[in-house]
Structure 1
Amino acid sequence: MVGGQVGILETAIVDDLKKEGEQVYRIIIVSDKEKNGLRYADRIVRFCMNRNVFPQVEYYQDQEKFFERVEEITPTSVLIALSGVQGLNAVEHMRMFCPQCGIIWCSDLDFSLHAFRLRVEYFFKEPIEDEMFEEGLTVWYERRRGSGI
């Protein structure tokens, strides 16, 4: 899968809910490993559904298509799971382009100081354990809920 919607809400439904003042999370994932990207998408959807939040989640392997989509819909949050400096560059670009967007970042290298500097909501160094991923999603969710975004 190169990219597309894997969540439970279609774009038209999301737009209608936003018009009605409902909180809607638009989450876009980019990962250079398809298996990880789809697993992250599934975990995010289950996490949100357990909190009675129904997100629109999209997944991309191609960074160019990911950034094109980010420009189209301005997501609530993104999960960037790219190896090495490729991930750092994507996070820096994302922060400049969309300063209010929540960012969860997964990398094979320890970029934790960069993550702090770039105001990333949660940084993971792979491999990621289930408890750690759940903690990261909880931090993300509480910050998004608290900010009204």
Structure 2
Amino acid sequence: MYCIAILTDQEQEGQKSAEYIRNYCTEKHVFPLIEIYQKQEQFFAQTLKTVPTVVFLALPGVSGLNAAEHLRSLYPKCGIIWCSDLDFSLHAFRLRIEYFFMKPVEEQKIKEGLSIWFECKKGGGYERKESN
């Protein structure tokens, strides 16, 4: 079973993102456990118990960069879809982020990120992509 974690500092954004992810997964006949976190400490404490299969990361500025770096160092095989208010595309490439895009959070961009991640998972390799 897939576990998809959402890490964002805004509750409404987390709920909306979960809805987008749930819609996409339902279309693909995949029914993951989706968990929403607003505090990095709580998120990383939970990952020690259950490592997420993929993380949708939507934290502002350097907080997002720090979370992405920490997540990748702890769990190199965890899929990461990263949305930021700053252009961290070079960092995303360096960190092997599966999909990076800049805010606003939009359903189509989340779907693209998940689609790329699922294709990589099936094929066994990663093709990184970013959206502007």
Give me the TM-score of the superposition, normalised by structure 2.
0.89
CA offset at residue 147 of structure 1? 2.8
Task: Describe the SS at the equivalent of 1:42.
Answer: helix
* RMSD of aligned residue pairs (Cα, Å): 1.4
Structure 1: 5+ residue runs without aligned partners?
1-23
Runs of 4+ in 1 over 6 A off after TM superposition: none
Out of 35, 39, 60, the residue aligned to residue 83 of structure 1 is 60
CA offset at residue 125 of structure 1? 0.3
CA distance in 1, matches of 2:54, 2:16: 17
Task: Describe the SS at the equivalent of 1:80.
Answer: strand
Give me the TM-score of the superposition, normalised by structure 1.
0.79
CA distance in 1, matches of 2:80, 2:21: 13
CA offset at residue 90 of structure 1? 0.2
Query: Identity of counterpart residues, as a percentage?
Result: 53
If you compute each CA radius of gyration, which structure gives the higher value, 1 or 2?
1
CA distance in 2, matches of 1:88, 1:72: 23
CA distance in 2, matches of 1:147, 1:140: 10
1:36-63 CA distance string (max 9 Å, x none): 1111111111111111111001001011
Q: Which position in structure 1 is the counterpart of 2:85?
A: 108
Out of 28, 38, 47, the residue aligned to residue 24 of structure 2 is 47
Alpha-carbon contact 1:30-1:59 (below 8 Å) kept: yes
Out of 1, 4, 10, the residue aligned to residue 33 of structure 1 is 10
Alpha-carbon contact 1:31-1:60 (below 8 Å) kept: yes
CA offset at residue 131 of structure 1? 2.6
Query: CA 1:136–1:107 in 2, change beyond 3 Å: closer, same or farther?
Result: same
How many corresponding residue pairs?
Answer: 125
Q: Which position in structure 2 is the counterpart of 1:20?
A: none
CA distance in 1, matches of 2:109, 2:32: 21
